[in-house]
Amino acid sequence: MGISHTNNHQINSSNARWSSEKIAKYALFVALSMAVSFIEFPLIPDLSYLKYDPSGIVCLVAGFAYGPAAAAIVSILGFAPHLFTNPLGTVMAVLVSLGASVTAAIVYKKMHTRKGAIIALLAGSIVAIALAIAGNLVITPLYAHMTVSQVAALILPALLPFNIIKLALHVAVTMLIYKPISNLLHKNN
C-alpha cells in the first residue's frame, strides 16, 4: 500500500510539474502576443484604418509548438487588453486569429512535416480570410456607421487584399522563425 501511494505521488508530482511548465509557456506566449498586438501599422496606404499587427504570428507559433488549445488560448487572451478600448475590433481580431492559428495547429498536428506546416498555414489563412470577410459583414456595420452593402463593396478593393497581405506576412515569418523557436522550446524535453 505504501509503495502504491509513493508511485502515485511521483506520478502526480510529475504531472503537476508538467502542468506548471505548460502554464508558464502559455503565459509567455500570451504576454508576447499582448505586447506585439500594440505594434500596429497600415499595410495599404489608402486604407489606414485597416491596421496590421504581428500578434497572429505568436498565435501560430504557439499552435505549432503546443497544439490547437495553445493557439486558442493565446489568440483569445492575447487581445484581452484591447477589449476595453475597441471591443468590436477585438472580436474581429480574435475571430481571425482563431481561424488562422487553430486551423493551422490542427492540420500541423496531423501532418508534422515542413510540407504539413505549409499546408497548415495555407489552410489557416483560407479559414482566417473567410472569417474576416464574414466578420466584417456582421461587425463593421455595428461600429463604422456603414450598411452591409457598403461593407460588401469593400471586400474586393480593400478587405480581401489587406487580409491576404496580412496572412502572407504571418505565413512567411512563421516559416522563418518556427523551427529555431521550436528547437529552443523543446530543448530540455
Q: Which domain holds residue 70?
A: 20-40+52-187
Question: Would 181 be classed as within a structural domain?
Answer: yes
Residue 106 located in a structural domain: yes
Q: Does residue 1 belong to any structural domain of this protein?
A: no
Q: Examine residue 117 and state whether it is found in any structural domain, yes or no.
A: yes
Q: What domain count does the chain have?
A: 1
Instruction: Identify whether 108 is part of a domain.
Output: yes
The H or E element containing residue 25 is helix 2-37
Residue 6 included in any domain: no
Q: What is the CATH number of the domain that holds 157?
A: 1.10.1760.20
- Full-model pTM: 0.87
Spatial separation of the C-alpha atoms in residues 152 and 150, rounded to whole Å: 5
pLDDT in tens, the chain (189 residues): 444 444 444 444 445 555 788 889 999 999 999 999 999 999 988 878 889 999 999 999 999 999 999 999 999 999 999 999 999 999 999 999 999 999 999 999 999 999 999 999 999 999 999 999 999 999 999 988 899 999 999 999 999 999 999 999 999 999 999 989 988 877 765
pLDDT value of residue 188:
60
* Whether 112 contacts 84, CB under 8 Å: no
In a domain, 47, yes or no: no
> What is the per-residue pLDDT for 11?
44
Beta bridge partners of 42: 51
Q: CA angle 30-20-186, nearest 5°?
A: 75
Please report the pLDDT score of residue 18 as a whole number.
Answer: 57
* Concatenated DSSP letters of 91-157: HHHHHHHHHHHHHHHHHHHHS-SHHHHHHHHHHHHHHHHHHHHHHHHHHHHHHS---HHHHHTTIII
Q: Is 8 domain-assigned?
A: no
